[in-house]
């Protein structure tokens, strides 16, 4: 009877250790999630669609995703470790190297902001159109030269 008890205890211990090993492997393979929202730097903080989000590990491994219409992004299955998040979109200033530490099973929320670059069209649509300022300056210069040449 004692041998049967010892044999049963041994098998239970082996099964428990196998179960713990598989559970630990599942946790290390699970990784974490990095998500967030990207908005512009205006007062309204409008969401930006189509931003490329690149999550780079210290060993150079990259994970990429893109924002949706609400400016939201999400990337799951990222192994535990330290990462830098960079964001890119035409017409906006790039944002490089926002650090994040990912833990297994973690949900890491990293909101970011981007500034829209000035374009020639912005110059013409400013509240006091700058082209009027340039025209006025050109007229003043012409008047000054015309008076000095008399």
Mean pLDDT by 10 residues, the chain (150 residues): 58 55 53 95 93 94 96 96 95 89 94 83 58 77 75
Pair (130, 113) in one structural domain: no
Radius of gyration (C-alpha) of the chain in whole angstroms: 30
Pair (57, 82) in one structural domain: yes
As for how many domains the chain has, the answer is 3
Give the Cα-Cα-Cα angle 9, 4, 8 (nearest 5 degrees).
25
Pair (72, 141) in one structural domain: no
Read off the CATH number of the domain in which 104 is found.
2.60.40.1120
Pair (15, 37) in one structural domain: no
Query: Is 0.75 topped by the overall pTM?
Result: no
Pair (51, 24) in one structural domain: no
Pair (7, 67) in one structural domain: no
The pLDDT of residue 32: 96
Q: What secondary structure letter does DSSP report for 110?
A: -
Residue 135 half-sphere exposure toward CB, CA atoms < 13 A: 6
The pLDDT of residue 150: 61
Pair (69, 133) in one structural domain: no
Pair (143, 90) in one structural domain: no
Pair (71, 145) in one structural domain: no
Pair (36, 89) in one structural domain: yes
The pLDDT of residue 55: 96
In which domain, by residue range, is 21 found?
1-30
């Amino acid at each position: 009877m004692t041998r049967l008890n010892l044999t049963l205890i041994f098998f239970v211990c082996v099964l428990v250790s196998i179960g713990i090993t598989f559970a630990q492997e599942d946790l290390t393979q699970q990784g974490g999630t990095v998500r967030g929202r990207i908005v512009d730097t205006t007062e309204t903080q409008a969401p930006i669609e189509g931003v490329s989000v690149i999550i780079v590990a210290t060993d150079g491994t990259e994970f990429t995703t893109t924002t949706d219409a609400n400016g939201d992004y999400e990337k799951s299955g990222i192994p535990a470790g330290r990462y830098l998040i960079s964001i890119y979109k035409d017409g906006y200033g790039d944002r490089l190297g926002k650090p994040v530490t990912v833990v297994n099973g973690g949900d890491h929320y990293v909101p970011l902001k981007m500034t829209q670059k000035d374009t020639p069209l912005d110059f013409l649509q400013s509240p006091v159109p700058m082209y009027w300022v340039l025209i006025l300056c050109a007229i003043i210069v012409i008047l000054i030269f015309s008076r000095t040449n008399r």
